[in-house]
């Protein structure tokens, strides 16, 4: 047992094939930094699209992880609060280079998006409006749709490998469409898979080894003037307890910053969330925009640190436990249920994205073309997204 504990705590990067899910030689910090910085600049479309791009890069192209390990990390990410795509980047960094990789991958993914959002915030404060980028999204959204569909097609055979798991995926998707809370659906799917697995082994269900994050309640106080400590506290609390989409983020920030503290107007908050949606990288860079509007560059840094810091803490606490969860039959069954439900959630998001992206014949043509290039010619998704942006600009200029 002592030797096993030392192995689990060893901070050095594991050699190839030493741990399940690692197929490539040890990854350098430079490789991690370059990859996630590039994704931070080009990953449009929200968490589902970001995760699809990561799957393409680290599973299909670089062989850093197997599909099974990637799915386990995705399931673990969905069980902790915070920005899912950022937490996936941090998880992958941990898998490849432990503590140093955790920091490099996470920061490389966050910093470029933060810088881009900061430019938008400066323009907003300087000119009083968000620059128009509708043409960019018009070309990028159909390409993102193709990227997400490709990821789903690649991961689904592994996640939904039995009839029971396929039924569970369908039920999870239906519940989300009907309005059930995403986290409740994930836990319910995990429990259902655990019960079915236990029944198949002919034993009664024992207590599952579930990871329940300890989200500390961060006191923010009732302040009328903007202060940097107060700004940090508001965003740290949000990052520590928030599950769900950018719309859930909007609800949290509205309750604190508009209604309780009165630091923002409704219009300013909507502009901030819009910038988070139209810029690449994590949607949580909305915090950067708000921080800059409220307190300049210092406010932007403090708000960004506050909303992303809990993600690093939660991944650092839960990441080392993922292999142990997979090693236990009971927790492995639970994780299988969470994994297949996670893909069901991605499928629902893809349908929503499709309604927003495919608005006319040219956008549908872009989606079909990007899908063919991905599947037939294995074109890197980054180049496709840049091509989609160029096509959007060309169509905008032609009109």
Supply the pLDDT for residue 16.
39
Q: What is the pTM of this model?
A: 0.65
Q: What mean pLDDT is predicted for residues 373-389? A: 77
* Cα 355 from Cα 60, distance rounded (Å): 28
Residues 301 and 369 in one domain: no
Q: How confident is the model at residue 134 (pLDDT cuts 50, 70, 90)?
A: low
Residue 20: pLDDT over 60: no
Tens digits of per-residue pLDDT, 266-279?
A: 778 877 876 776 78
Residues 287 and 370 in one domain: no
Supply the pLDDT for residue 7.
31
* Cα 171 from Cα 196, distance rounded (Å): 15
Tens digits of per-residue pLDDT, 253-307?
A: 877 888 788 898 877 887 787 677 678 888 889 899 999 999 999 999 999 999 9
Residues 237 and 152 in one domain: no
Tens digits of per-residue pLDDT, 225-237?
A: 788 999 999 999 8
Query: Would you call 263 helix, strand, or coil by DSSP?
Result: coil
Domain-ending residue, one of 293, 315, 337: 315
Is residue 182 in some structural domain? no
Supply the pLDDT for residue 225.
79
CB count within 10 Å of CB 250 equals: 17
Is residue 144 in some structural domain? yes
> Closest Cα partner for 71 from 166, 157, 187, 180?
157
Residues 281 and 368 in one domain: no
Tens digits of per-residue pLDDT, 317-359?
A: 887 877 777 777 887 788 788 778 878 877 887 787 688 778 8
Supply the pLDDT for residue 13.
44
CB count within 10 Å of CB 245 equals: 17
Is residue 148 in some structural domain? yes
Mean pLDDT of the chain: 78
Supply the pLDDT for residue 223.
35
Tens digits of per-residue pLDDT, 182-213?
A: 768 878 888 898 888 888 766 544 433 332 22
Please state the domain count of the chain. 2
Is residue 350 in some structural domain? no
Residues 256 and 381 in one domain: no
* Cα 258 from Cα 32, distance rounded (Å): 38
Q: How confident is the model at residue 18 (pLDDT cuts 50, 70, 90)?
A: very low
Is residue 93 in some structural domain? yes
Domain-ending residue, one of 315, 347, 374: 315
Residues 48 and 134 in one domain: yes
Question: 232 lies in which domain range?
Answer: 228-315
Residues 236 and 306 in one domain: yes
Residues 377 and 267 in one domain: no
Residues 39 and 116 in one domain: yes
Residues 28 and 116 in one domain: yes
Residues 375 and 302 in one domain: no
Q: What mean pLDDT is predicted for residues 109-135? A: 82
If one compares 18 and 109, the residue with the highest pLDDT of the two is: 109
Contact by Cβ (8 Å): 96, 26: yes
Tens digits of per-residue pLDDT, 64-105?
A: 998 888 988 888 887 777 888 899 999 999 989 889 999 999
Domain-ending residue, one of 298, 315, 332: 315
Is residue 266 in some structural domain? yes
If one compares 369 and 396, the residue with the highest pLDDT of the two is: 369
Residues 372 and 244 in one domain: no
Is residue 81 in some structural domain? yes
Residue 160: pLDDT over 50: yes
Is residue 39 in some structural domain? yes
Q: What percent of the chain has pLDDT over 70?
A: 81
């Amino acid at each position: 047992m002592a030797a096993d504990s030392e192995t689990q705590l060893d901070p050095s990067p594991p050699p190839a094939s030493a741990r399940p899910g690692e197929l490539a030689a040890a990854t350098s910090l430079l490789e991690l930094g370059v990859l996630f910085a590039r994704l931070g600049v080009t990953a449009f479309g929200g968490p589902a699209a970001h995760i699809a791009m990561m799957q393409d890069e680290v599973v299909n192209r670089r062989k850093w992880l197997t599909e099974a390990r990637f799915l386990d990390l995705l399931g673990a990410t969905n069980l902790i609060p915070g920005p899912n795509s950022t937490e996936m980047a941090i998880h992958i960094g941990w898998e490849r280079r432990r503590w140093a990789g955790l920091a490099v991958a996470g920061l490389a993914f966050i910093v470029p998006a933060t810088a881009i959002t900061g430019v938008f915030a400066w323009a907003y404060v300087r000119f009083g409006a968000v620059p128009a980028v509708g043409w960019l999204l018009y070309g990028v959204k159909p390409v993102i749709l193709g990227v997400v569909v490709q990821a789903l097609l690649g991961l689904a055979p592994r996640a939904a490998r039995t009839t029971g798991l396929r039924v569970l995926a369908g039920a999870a998707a239906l519940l989300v469409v009907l309005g059930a809370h995403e986290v409740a659906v994930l836990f319910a799917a995990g429990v259902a898979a655990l019960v079915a697995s236990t029944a198949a082994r002919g034993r009664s269900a024992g207590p599952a080894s579930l990871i329940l994050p300890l989200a500390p309640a961060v006191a923010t106080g009732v302040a009328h003037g903007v202060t940097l400590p107060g700004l940090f506290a508001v965003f740290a609390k949000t990052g520590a307890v928030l599950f769900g989409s950018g719309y859930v983020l909007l609800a949290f920030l509205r309750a604190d910053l508009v209604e309780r503290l009165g630091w923002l107007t409704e219009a300013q908050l909507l502009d901030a969330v819009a910038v988070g949606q139209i810029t690449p990288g994590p949607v949580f860079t909305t915090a950067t925009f708000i921080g800059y509007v409220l307190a300049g560059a210092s406010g932007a840094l403090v708000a960004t640190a506050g909303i992303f810091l809990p993600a690093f803490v939660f991944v650092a606490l839960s990441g080392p436990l993922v292999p142990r969860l997979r090693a236990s039959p009971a927790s492995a069954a639970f994780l299988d249920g969470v994994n297949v439900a996670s893909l069901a959630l991605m499928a629902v998001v893809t349908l929503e994205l499709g309604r927003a992206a495919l608005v006319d014949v040219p956008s549908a043509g872009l989606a079909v073309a990007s899908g063919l290039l991905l599947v037939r010619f294995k074109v890197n998704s980054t180049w496709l997204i840049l091509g989609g942006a160029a096509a959007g600009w060309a169509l905008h200029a032609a009109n």
